[in-house]
Structure 1
Amino acid sequence: MKKLLIILSLIGIQYTYSQDSISVGKQIEKISPEKNPLDMGDLKIKLNSQGDQWIKFSISSQIWLRSTENNPGTNVNGISQDQTHDAGIRRMRLIVQSQLTPFYSVFLQMGINNQSFISGGGSGTGNNGAGKKPSFFFHDAYNELAIIPRNDFQTGKPNKNNLYMGVGLHSWNGVSRLSNASTTKMLAGDLPIFNFPTIEIADQFARQLGVFAHGEFDRLNYRFSINKPFATNIKPNVGGPAVDNNQSGKLSYSGYAFYQFFNKETTITSFLPGNNLAMKKVLNIGTGFYTNKDATQTQPSENVFESHPANIFGADIYSEIPLGDKNKEMGLVFYSVFYNYNYGPNYLRMSGLMNPGTPNPLFTGQKALEGAGNNRVLMGTGNIWFSQVGFVLPKFSKILKIQPFFNYALKDMKALNQNGSYYDIGANFYLYSQNAKIVAQYSSRPLYDINSKNIFDRKGEFLLSLQIVL
């Protein structure tokens, strides 16, 4: 880590910037982007004259400003509060990639997430108070070997098929495109989160430890992995729903593959974009899965425990279509996915991003099943259909580009008596392609009565997100 900090310091002190290149000691250059001529690319240090040994850096930051309608019976910092205004760091990341030989590479991603005035850090007050000093941790840390490279080692010519294998803490996930989503090329203000079926339960921020393989067979892009899920040991209540308990220690298996009808995508990293501003014609259809035996547990009767597998299936379609005059840079971005989740009887999970609230013990009104703050029904045993669409408006400025979008999720959970509709509506304002953008979004969520399991109210949230990627 000290060596990395030294390298970054030298870059900061010595670099001279131009539109096309940067130089620091050994040659550092801007990588020419494949899809969008406005994308800035990454900082890259060549380690040899041939250019097949290098180290590359990328930095990203997403800052949120919000106004949130809290669920009934919410305390914020011990005080009853119906609406909360806050600011926070949704994501702050540093990525380091290194190609040590033409066939061996290392990928590291570090950073923090979800820091607000009251969440993401310590507890209490003082130096280590609520929201302060969030943990800076590794999101990804894996080594990868090229079995069949994209380009032939000897001739440099592209191979029609390729295969890579790796091991470590990784995000080469199964289930869907959205389960492998890039967080710097999202269509909306954020991901729906239910796209990660074990998020922060049996994984570490959507990553598990294990081995993976990915590559292409002509137009079929694929990824598969075998992993050791992170340990869970929640004890179920007698006659209650399934809870996360994988104490038997079974391995998980996952995979995702998609067929590319038009332009092909390059998957050097695991992250698939959800939005390329429709610069090229894309149509992909995919399907995937995640399975883990004995992932959850119920207690049908006193001291009688029963284990259940987690079986998740997904099928999706992703399309980007340029429209009209090419010089206008108009286009449509569309994505739709169906998830079938089975975690065991009546499994249900709640979650709220950077949730500011805690339950008010003195509240006597109608209580929400979701709990306090901005909690919502995230996912559970049942089905979810999610779709999103965005339209890049005709070019009218050399500086600004606008893309309105709409998200919709329909959740059919076995533990609930009514289906729930969730939606987000907003617009992206691009100042330098996706390297610098502002997102304005309004979100609406239903609330379920704690007793009847039917919807009794809705709450909303306004979001202004500022994103920079280098």
Structure 2
Amino acid sequence: MKNKKLLQLVFFLSSFQFLVAQGSPDYNGGLKIKFDEDGKKYLRLISWAQVQATYNNDAPATSSKTSFNLRRARIMLFSQITDKFLILTHFGLNSLNAGTLSPTGKGDGSQLFLHDAWVQYSLSNEHAIGAGLHYFNGISRLNNQSTLNMMTLDNNRQSWATIGLSDQFARHVGVFMKGKFGKLQYRIAINDAITNGLDARPALSGQTVYGGANLLGTKDAGKTFAGYFEYNLLDQESNFLPFKVGTYLGGKKVFNIGAGFFVHPNGTVKLESGNPVGEDVSIFAIDAFYDTPLGDDGSALTAYATYQSNNYGENYLYSAYGTGNMIYSHVGYVFAGDKTKTRFQPYLSYGSNSYDATTSNRNVLGVGMNAFMSGHNSKLTLEYQHQDYGTSTSAVTLQAMIYL
């Protein structure tokens, strides 16, 4: 009986590692309503906002070079009445700016929407199944990235490789299973594909479009399959929730090697002799994540690298998506200092994307600095980003973030 209670306590405490192991000396678990004395029955609430000011020297002559953006405003709630059952709801909005504001707040860009809503049943202390609108994605760590604790200003855009094409804002409706075997963690999912995705182009000769579920029907193109597997060589990361930590600021010593996939049979369509023919979408990646303290003085190192193979069908190219390959990496260093005071973390990121449909690569360089006033719970980020894709664009963004 004592061993069972100990296991339950360890499970409960591990569920909050992603919240308390990120360098904040003030957070202490955040906003939680307990329904019993030992805290195993609870409702957990998280709220965060990210506000940006951007200077873009390449803005059109008719536009201001400086703009403001409510990048994210979110609320997440999850609750357990027993350690067997969990329900999670996550809603909010993204990128509210001059172009998406509406006069009375009723326009599409002004609306809150569901990011996640799923239920989960624990099969054991290490394995669980669930269903709903969920974020248990495949491919890579960055395709499962939390927006609470990114090291860079934002996630690498091309790592969210299906957003809006087969899903709703990187979330699918479907079933998932997650867990671990020793140091090996896994997540797998079978989902329905969206039938009204971003790529609404008609199927034309010589052009591949991502619209299989719409053009071919859900019988032939309605399901997607995803998985991500990672081996935790050092400290074990929590997999209680699907959101992966961007940097622990030296709060843990982590070295993970991962691999993942996303497959959508007949996900894209092209015309052959005037008839629509489906092509399979298959995306694979390998990656590595390292985060470690460098001593007792508060200094720390974070590094990440990934290679991703993107096959959306023959010569597919649409917006940020394209058949080809991607490499991406970032590295950051936390200067030594008192953890109860402001800490600084300069970082560097670089991504290169090649596409079969064009000889132009998309190369993106980011140079930035985080100022952590209370870990990730209160921070400022300043980043210069330069993108070269046929033409060159550059921007400088300052972001303020608070989460509770």
Which whole-Å deviations, capped at 9, do the CAs of 1:203-255 have from their partners, x for residues lacking one?
A: 11100000001111110011000000111364222222334332322211000
Q: For residues 21-420 of structure 1, what are the structure 2 equivalents within 5 Å?
A: 33-34=20-21, 36=23, 38=25, 40=27, 41-70=29-58, 74=60, 80-81=61-62, 84-119=65-100, 121-122=101-102, 126-127=103-104, 134-149=110-125, 162-232=126-196, 234-247=201-214, 248-249=217-218, 250-301=222-273, 303-324=274-295, 326=296, 328-350=297-319, 378-395=320-337, 398-420=340-362
Instruction: Please tell me the residue identity of whatever aligns with 2:403.
Output: V
Structure 2 counterpart of 1:463: 397
The answer to whether the 8 A contact 1:243-1:298 is kept is no
Deviations 1:229-285 (A, max 9, x none): 111364222222334332322211000010011100111110010111122221000
Runs of 5+ unmatched residues, structure 1: 1-29, 75-79, 150-161, 351-377, 449-456
Q: Deviations over 1:20-66 (max 9, x none)?
A: xxxxxxxxxx9983564626132111112343211111101100111
1-side partners of 2:328 and 2:234: how far apart?
Answer: 23
Task: Indicate conservation of the 8 Å contact 1:59/1:95, yes or no.
Answer: yes
Contact 1:404 1:426 in 2 (8 A): yes
Asked if 1 retains the 8 angstrom alpha-carbon contact of 2:146 and 2:245, the reply is yes
Contact 1:279 1:329 in 2 (8 A): no
Give me the whole-angstrom Cα distance separating, in 2, the residues matched to 1:183 and 1:39. Answer: 20
Change (3 A) 1:418 1:226: same
Q: Structure 2: where are the runs of 5+ without partners?
A: 1-15
Provide the TM-score with structure 1 as the length reference.
0.77
Alpha-carbon distance in structure 2 between the residues aligned to 1:59 and 1:420 = 34
CA drift of 1:102 comes to 2.3
Q: Find the partner of 2:375 among 433, 438, 447.
A: 433
Q: Matched residues in 2 for 1:37 and 1:398: separation?
A: 8
Structure 2 vs 1, CA of residues 129 and 52 (structure 1 numbering), >3 Å: closer, same or farther? closer
Q: 1:459 to 1:36 in 2, by over 3 A?
A: closer
1:399 Cα deviation from its structure 2 partner: 2.1
1:429–1:438 CA contact under 8 A, matched in 2: yes
Q: Which has the larger radius of gyration?
A: 1
| Range with greater deviation from structure 2 (106-115 or 244-253) | 244-253
RMSD value over aligned CA atoms? Answer: 2.1
Counterpart AA for 1:108 = T
Query: Secondary structure at the residue paired with 2:104?
Result: helix
Once residues 204 and 247 of structure 2 are traced to their aligned partners in structure 1, the CA distance between those partners, rounded to angstroms, is: 43
d(CA) in 2 for partners of 1:234 and 1:460? Answer: 29
SS at structure 2 position matched to 1:246 = helix
Question: The residue matched to 2:369 in structure 1 has which SS?
Answer: strand
**Residues 24, 377 of structure 2: 8 Å contact kept:** no
Cα 1:202/1:322, change in 2 over 3 Å: same
The residue type equivalent to 1:67 in the other structure is Y
The 8 Å contact of residues 329 and 350 in structure 2, kept in 1 or not, is answered as: yes
Aligned length: 379
For residues 256 and 133 of structure 1, do their structure 2 counterparts lie closer, same or farther at Cα, with a shift above 3 Å needed? Answer: closer
* Equivalent residue number for residue 8 of structure 2: none
Shift of 1:396: 5.9
CA contact (8 A) 1:240 1:300 kept: no
